[in-house]
Amino acid sequence: MADPSTSPPLTRESVAAARELIKPFVHRTPVISSTSLSALASEVDAGSGPEGKAKPKLRLWFKCENFQKVGAFKARGAFHAIERLKKEPGWLEGGGAQRGVVTHSSGNHAQALSLAARTNGIPAHIVMPSISAPPKIAATKGYGAHVVFSGSTSVEREAVTMKVIEETGARLVPPYDHPDIILGQGTLGLEFQEQVEALIAEEREKAGAGTGAEKKKKKGLDVIIAPCGGGGMLSGVALSCEGTGIRVFGSEPSFQGADDAKRGYESGTRIETVSSLTVADGLRTPLGRIPWSVIYERRLVSGFYSVSEAEIIRALRLAYERLKVVIEPSSAVPLAVALYNEDFRSMVEREAGEDGWDVGIVFSGGNVSLDALGKLFSENSEVAK
C-alpha cells in the first residue's frame, strides 16, 4: 500500500479528487426509492410492534452499490488504492508491480482488488477465511487472483497475510484501514448526495411545487445510514458529508458482539477484536484505527444503531419483495435500522417532526448465492414474514 503519510488529507475535497481518479474504472450506481417501503417505515415500528411506538416520517432513498463492479462498493477503494500506488515514485519501474498486491477479505474487497489488479496487469494474492461464501471465492479466483485460505478472525487473516508478504514481496492493500481506501469508498457518498438532490428537484418540478423557502427546505438528504464492518466506507461517506449538514449514522448487527463500533463509540474506546458469525458476513470485522479517527475522534458520524438477526432477515426479504433487487444480508442492516430500531425511529420523530427526513440507505453489495438465500429464508420463514 502507498505510505499513508503520502496520502491526501482526509477531507471532502480529497474524496472529490478520488472520484476523478477512479471515474474511468467504476460505475455511477443508481439511486432508487420506494413509496411502499417509505410508507412502511413511517408506520408504527414498521407494523411489527404494539401501538405507542414511534411514528417518524421517513422518505427512503437507496444507493445501489450492488450494481457496482464486482457487485459491491469495494471496487471504489480498490481502484483508488491501485491508482495511488501507480503514482508512488519507483513502484512501477522498481518491480513493485511485478511482485503484486495482497489483502485479506471475506469476499467483496477480495474481488475488488483482484479486478483492479487484473485491469492493471498486476498479480493479486488474496487471503480469504475458509468459511467465505463460495460464490465470492469463485469470483475472486475468476478475476485471476491467487487465493490463500485462513481462519475467520481478523487475527488469523492478518497472520496468513504477513506470511504471503514474506514469501512474495507483494504490497499490502488493506480492506479498510488506509486513507486511500477510505477516500475511494467515500465517492459513493458524493454521488448519493447529488443524485437525491436531482431526484427531489425533478419530483418537485413535476408536482409544480412552490419556490423560495419551501423549495429550499426539501433540497436533499437529511441522513445517510451505512453499514459498518471495518469502517472504510462509513468513514468515507462521513467525509463526503462534512460541512453539508447531512448527518451520518453507522449500522451493525448485534449478534455475538458484531456491534463493536457502536459499543466502542459509546464507551470512547475502540474495540480491536470481533468474533461473530452474524448472517451479515461482510460486517464481521472490527472497526479500523484510521476509520475510528474520522468516525469518533472527529465526530463525523453522529452515532450507531444495531439490529438483530431476525430484523436483518426481515428487512432483506422486504428489499427483495418491494424493490426487486438482489442484495446481501450486510446491505439490509441499514434498512433494518430505519424499519425496526426504536431508538433511531424515536430520534427521527423527535428531531424531524411533521416534515420528516429524507434518509439515504446504502446497499453495500449484492454478492450472495441463491442457494444461501433460499436456505436463509426457509430456516427463518416465520421471522422473515
What's the rounded Cα separation, in Å, for the pair 260 and 258?
5
CA 374 to chain centroid, in Å, comes to 24
Closest-CA residue to 176 (of 64, 308, 78): 78
Spatial distance between the Cα atoms of 80 and 87, rounded to a whole number of angstroms: 11
Beta bridge partners of 305: 251
Instruction: Return the active site residues.
Output: 74, 106
Question: What are 273-322's pLDDT values in tens digits?
Answer: 898 999 998 898 899 999 999 999 999 999 999 999 999 999 999 999 99
pLDDT tens sequence across 151-192: 977 789 889 999 999 999 999 999 999 999 999 999 999 999
**pLDDT values of the chain reduced to their tens digit, one per residue, 385 residues:** 666 777 899 999 999 999 999 999 999 999 999 999 999 999 855 544 445 688 999 999 999 999 999 999 999 999 999 999 998 888 887 778 889 999 988 778 999 999 999 999 999 999 998 988 787 888 899 999 999 999 977 789 889 999 999 999 999 999 999 999 999 999 999 999 999 999 999 988 888 855 554 555 568 999 999 999 999 999 999 999 999 999 999 999 999 999 999 999 999 999 998 989 999 988 988 999 999 999 999 999 999 999 999 999 999 999 999 999 999 999 999 999 999 999 999 999 999 988 999 999 999 999 888 888 888 888 876 665 5
How much is the pTM?
0.91
* Cβ 360 vs Cβ 335: under 8 Å: no
Q: Are 273 and 327 in contact (CB under 8 A)?
A: no
Neighbours of 185 (CB within 10 A): 32
Q: How far is CA 281 from the centre of its chain?
A: 12
Domains annotated on the chain, with CATH: 4-71+179-379 (3.40.50.1100), 74-172 (3.40.50.1100)
Q: What is the amino acid identity at position 275?
A: S
Sign of CA dihedral 335, 295, 287, 30: positive
Q: Report helix angle 309-318 to 329-340, nearest 10.
A: 100
**Grid coordinates of 209:** 411545487
Q: How many CA atoms lie within 13 A of 168 on its CB side?
A: 24
Amino acid at the residue 85: L
